[in-house]
């Protein structure tokens, strides 16, 4: 049993953290990189007291934690569907049900552990400050987030062909709606990978909400502070960009041979990320339209979209795996951040757009699908 648990830990736990390196880098930057080291403890204590003392804030935090739990569940279920992992069905099915549930619990809590660690600290603060109802709510929700996924894992084991969040809606759309190419990838996300885009959008919305909350509590509005939050929101989309490349490699490679100009292909790429970032643009507009000028909002949107397009075009380089991609995106983000702090937003936009166009027009026709090679 110990050997089986060790193998399953490598398959699920280690692969989860490796594949989500970019997500955790963004999360680490958000929690620890935006605050001076001397104020780090006070910052996190203040953040915890903020959601402990405000039920609206607490509900948002609970939703973020639950969305992470959904991300964990989605990863576990998708692993069963990967080529080469068919042996998981007979392996797990041969284990007695009580022992199997313990294994499910260990695997799930291992990838849900970052939340559990933060929750444990928050519970200590809640008890010390007398927030007993909030502590009970937090404990119950997170215990539930560790238990309810077990039923889904058991169901997947019993019904391997079950695919969640698809079915009648997908078939109805296919019958009644002819999709333009710009919507191909977004349709793929919403029908086959809904948890991935929902978790990304919830995290992105949480970053923007926290950005506006911090500025509201400080009784100020700084366009550069908003742009910092928007940059973190953009970085949270990196996993979608890698998935976009995989989708293009698998399903849209035929488009290279169509009598379509490179400019049209490039505009399709731009359109994908304009639509993808549209919810964030609505959130920003709703919260900032009275605090800045329309030109300020346009500046924020152009900066965000320029970053997203460049980050996607970087994936046209050969041997650009997710780990290397994270390095280049983080380096680019830091450079753009310093330009924003120096009030050089539009030169930054111009540089980003120029770099994106150069990469796309020189690499698109010669690009070959990325294949991971063993060392």
Please, which pLDDT band fits residue 282 given cuts at 50, 70 and 90? Answer: very high
Task: Mark whether 131 and 224 lie in a shared domain.
Answer: no
pLDDT for position 290:
84
Q: What is the pLDDT of residues 129-144, one digit of tens each?
A: 888 999 999 999 999 9
Q: Identify the pLDDT of residue 165.
A: 46
The answer, yes or no, to whether residue 215 has pLDDT greater than 70, is yes
Instruction: Say whether both 211 and 357 belong to one domain.
Output: yes
Predicted local confidence at residue 375, as pLDDT: 39
Range of the domain at 110: 1-163
Helix axes 21-28, 322-341, angle to 10 degrees: 30
- Among 114-128, 155-169, 185-199, 237-251, the range scoring the smallest mean pLDDT is 155-169
Confidence at residue 281, expressed as pLDDT on a 0 to 100 scale:
93
Structure token digits, residue 263: 């400019």
The whole-number pLDDT of residue 214 equals 84
Let me know whether 249 and 311 are in one domain.
yes
Domain boundary at 163, 186, 208, which? 163
For the chain, the maximum distance between any two Cα atoms, rounded to a whole number of angstroms, is 68
Task: Evaluate whether 160 touches 77 at the Cβ level (below 8 Å).
Answer: no
What average pLDDT does the chain have?
84
Specify whether 104 is located in the same domain as 231: no
- 359: pLDDT confidence band, cut at 50, 70 and 90? very high
Confidence check: pLDDT of 14 > 70: yes
Question: In angstroms, rounded to a whole number, what is the distance separating the alpha carbons of residues 346 and 306?
Answer: 11
* Length in residues, the chain: 375
273 and 374 co-located in one domain: yes
| Local structure of residue 252 (DSSP, 8 states) | S
Which pLDDT value is given to residue 28?
Answer: 74
Last residue of one domain, picked from the residues 144, 163, 182? 163
Residue 161's pLDDT is: 58
Alpha carbon of residue 174 to chain centroid: 27
Residue 356: which pLDDT band, with cuts at 50, 70 and 90? very high
Domain co-membership, 284 together with 194:
yes
CA distances from 172 to 27, 167, 175, 293, 300 (A): 37, 9, 5, 42, 37
State whether 143 and 228 are in the same domain: no
Q: Mean pLDDT: which of 222-226, 287-291, 300-304 is highest?
A: 300-304
111 and 9, same domain (yes or no): yes
Query: Is the per-residue pLDDT at 360 higher than 90?
Result: yes
**Per-residue pLDDT reduced to its tens digit, 55-100:** 888 998 999 899 889 888 888 888 887 777 778 888 788 888 888 8
Tens digits of residue pLDDT in 1-13: 557 777 888 888 8
Quick one: pLDDT at residue 351?
95
HSE toward the beta carbon, residue 29, CA cutoff 13 A: 19
Q: Could you tell me the CA-to-CA distances from 353 to 90, 307, 309, 357, 358 in Å, in that order?
A: 51, 8, 8, 6, 9
Are both 133 and 263 inside the same structural domain?
Answer: no
Residue 49: pLDDT band (50, 70, 90) is confident
Asked if the model's pLDDT at residue 374 lies above 50, the reply is: no
pLDDT band at 357 (very low <50, low <70, confident <90, very high): very high
243 close to 196: Cβ distance less than 8 angstroms: yes
Radius of gyration (C-alpha) of the chain in whole angstroms:
22
Q: Is the pLDDT of residue 306 over 90?
A: yes
Helix boundaries (H) for the chain = 2-8, 15-19, 21-28, 40-52, 55-81, 88-93, 97-111, 113-129, 132-158, 168-176, 184-192, 194-217, 223-235, 238-251, 262-276, 278-288, 294-313, 322-341, 345-363
Check: CB of residue 164 under 8 Å from CB of residue 77.
yes
- The single residue listed with the structure tokens 């007993």 is 132
Q: Among 138, 163, 188, give the residue marking a domain's end.
A: 163
pLDDT on residue 86:
75
Name the nearest CA neighbour of 160 among 89, 105, 74, 70.
89
Band (pLDDT 50/70/90 cuts) for residue 158 is confident
21 and 170 share one domain: no
Q: How many domains does the chain have?
A: 2
- Residues 127 and 244 grouped into a single domain: no
Do residues 5 and 106 touch, judged by C-beta distance below 8 A?
Answer: yes
DSSP letter string over 321-373? -HHHHHHHHHHHHHHHHHHHHTT-HHHHHHHHHHHHHHHHHHHTTT-------
150 in the same domain as 180? no
**Stronger pLDDT, 88 or 147, i.e. the higher one:** 147
Q: Is the pLDDT of residue 287 over 60?
A: yes
Give the model's confidence band at 42: pLDDT under 50 very low, under 70 low, under 90 confident, else very high.
confident
Residue 319 to residue 30: CA distance in whole angstroms: 28
Structure tokens given for 172: 């109805």
């Amino acid at each position: 049993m110990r050997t089986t648990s060790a193998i399953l830990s490598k398959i699920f736990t280690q692969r989860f953290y490796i594949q989500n390196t970019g997500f955790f880098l963004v999360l680490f930057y958000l929690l620890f990189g935006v605050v001076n080291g001397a104020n780090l403890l006070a910052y996190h204590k203040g953040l915890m007291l903020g959601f402990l003392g405000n039920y609206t804030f607490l509900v948002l935090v609970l939703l973020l934690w639950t969305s992470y739990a959904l991300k964990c569940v989605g990863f576990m279920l998708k692993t069963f569907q990967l080529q080469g992992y068919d042996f998981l069905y007979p392996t797990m099915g041969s284990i007695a049900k009580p022992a199997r549930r313990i294994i499910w619990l260990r695997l799930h809590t291992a990838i849900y552990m970052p939340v559990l660690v933060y929750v444990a600290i928050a519970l200590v603060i809640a008890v010390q400050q007398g927030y007993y109802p909030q502590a009970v709510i937090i404990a119950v929700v997170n215990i539930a987030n560790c238990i309810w996924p077990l039923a889904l894992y058991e169901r997947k084991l019993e019904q391997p062909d079950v695919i969640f969040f698809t079915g009648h809606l997908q078939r109805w759309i296919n019958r009644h709606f002819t999709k333009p190419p710009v919507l191909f990838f977004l349709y793929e996300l919403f029908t086959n990978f809904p948890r991935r885009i929902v978790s990304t959008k919830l995290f992105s919305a949480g970053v923007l909400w926290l950005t506006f909350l911090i500025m509201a509590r400080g009784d100020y509005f700084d366009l550069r502070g908003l742009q910092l939050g928007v940059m973190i929101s953009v970085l949270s989309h990196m996993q979608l960009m890698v998935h976009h490349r995989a989708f293009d490699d698998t399903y849209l490679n035929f488009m290279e041979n169509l009598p379509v100009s490179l400019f049209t292909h490039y505009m399709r790429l731009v359109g994908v990320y304009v639509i993808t970032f549209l919810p964030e643009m609505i959130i920003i507009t709703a919260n900032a339209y009275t605090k800045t000028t329309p030109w300020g909002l346009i500046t924020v949107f152009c900066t965000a979209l320029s970053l997203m397009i460049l980050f996607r075009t970087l994936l046209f380089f050969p041997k650009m795996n997710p780990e290397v991609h994270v390095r280049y995106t983080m380096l680019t983000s830091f450079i753009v951040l310093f330009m924003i702090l120096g009030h050089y937003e539009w030169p930054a936009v111009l540089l980003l757009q120029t770099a994106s166009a150069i990469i796309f027009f020189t690499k698109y026709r010669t690009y070959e699908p990325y294949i991971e090679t063993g060392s």
